[in-house]
Amino acid sequence: MQAAALASVAHTPDLFSAPARHLWTVEEVLALYDLPYMDLLWRAQKTHRQHFDANAIQRSTLLSIKTGGCSEDCGYCSQSARFNTDLERERLLPVDEVVAAAEAAKAKGASRFCMGAAWRSPKENDLEKVLEMVREVKALGMQTCVTLGMLKEGQAEQLKEAGLDYYNHNLDTDKEFYGQVIKSHTHDERLETLAQARDAGLNLCSGGIIGMGESRRNRAAMLVQLANLPVPPESVPINNLVPVPGTPLGDAPPLDPFEFVRTIAAARITMPTSWVRLSAGRREMSDELQALCFLAGANSMFYGDHLLTTGNADFAQDDALFERLGLTAV
């Protein structure tokens, strides 16, 4: 850089007044996990309150716009064509059906509508229809999110142009454990899709699944990878595996619920300004366990009777929980 240019940068206050960002190590995150439970929750709650209203929960409604028949082999997934899961395969839904579902979600009080497709990556003519869905859902005044698999060059820009707010693509687990769950596409390809979405100016929604037989170190390493991205994801879904009969993980033993809460707390501490979403597996949790997750810093959820192919806590139960805990929806 030329001396004159350097001097002008040196006088740019933003560059030099911002505190240096902490990059996490796996050992540091393991040390968080190892804290006595009350200390971990206290630290997570303090961090949470520095950045968020601790009583406000963001609510997204999910819709599967294209179900089943996926070419990929993700070992947890009901939608892979490689496993025998009794799932009815469906074509891409018509745009008007999707918009009607978004209108209903908005009327119930969801602020974001997330559309999921069981694709390795979207084909151009399918993407055209998804772009129309994004335009129309956005026009309802909702935030929009899609999860369509891996993106090819230019697709993230098309989505951004149509009014997309968030692209969801999960790391799912750390690089080391990944190969035991998924072989048809790589962890690096996932990072590449996240980079493309980020470069197109989209917000990222990226997290993972726990309870797949991974170690605590694998969980910590996944959080480190998310937290140390050039810009951490704005939204971090933490899914508890929903074991689906017929998938390789259909018989996975349940995870200790306290380990799930510890993972939420570690996500909150390592990504203090991200929305941490209590995602799949919530239907199987008691109200008390969900309250512990909120105390540990979860501040987002899927709101609606269905996730993609499995059930979710129903509206009435969630509305009652909000009432009992004095939570407000954002």
Restricting to residues 154-183, name those near ligand DTB by CB under 6 A.
168, 170
- Specify whether 277 is catalytic: yes
Q: Does residue 327 bind ligand SAM (CB under 6 A)?
A: no
Q: Spot the catalytic one: 43, 190, 198, 205.
A: 205
- Specify whether 324 is catalytic: no
Report helix angle 257-270 to 287-295, nearest 10.
30
- b/e map of 49-70 (b: 16 or more CB within 10 Å)? eeebeeeebbbbbbbbbbbbeb
For 326, left (φ over 0), alpha (ψ -120 to 50), or beta? Answer: left
The C-alpha atoms of residue 119 and residue 90 are separated, in whole angstroms, by: 12
CB of 273 to ligand SF4, least distance (A): 27
CB of 137 to ligand DTB, least distance (A): 15
Residue 169 binds what, of ligand SF4, ligand SAM, ligand DTB, none (CB under 5 to 8 Å, by partner type)?
ligand SAM
Q: Does residue 310 bind ligand DTB (CB under 6 A)?
A: yes
The residue from 239, 263, 290, 299 that contacts ligand DTB (CB under 6 A) is 239
The C-alpha atoms of residue 94 and residue 125 are separated, in whole angstroms, by: 13
The C-alpha atoms of residue 265 and residue 186 are separated, in whole angstroms, by: 28
Residue 296 binds what, of ligand DTB, ligand SAM, ligand SF4, none (CB under 5 to 8 Å, by partner type)?
none
Decide: residue 189, CB within 10 A, 0-12 exposed, 13-18 middle, 19+ buried.
Answer: middle
Q: What are phi and psi of 239, to 5 degrees?
A: -95, 135
Residue placing its CB nearer to ligand DTB in the complex, 143 or 279: 279
- Specify whether 114 is catalytic: yes
- Specify whether 293 is catalytic: no
Q: Does residue 165 bind ligand SAM (CB under 6 A)?
A: no
Which amino acid belongs to residue 277? R
- Specify whether 74 is catalytic: yes
Question: What residues act catalytically?
Answer: 70, 74, 77, 114, 145, 205, 277
Residues of this chain that bind ligand SAM (CB under 6 A): 76-77, 116, 118-119, 147, 149, 169-170, 172, 209, 239, 241-242, 244, 280, 308
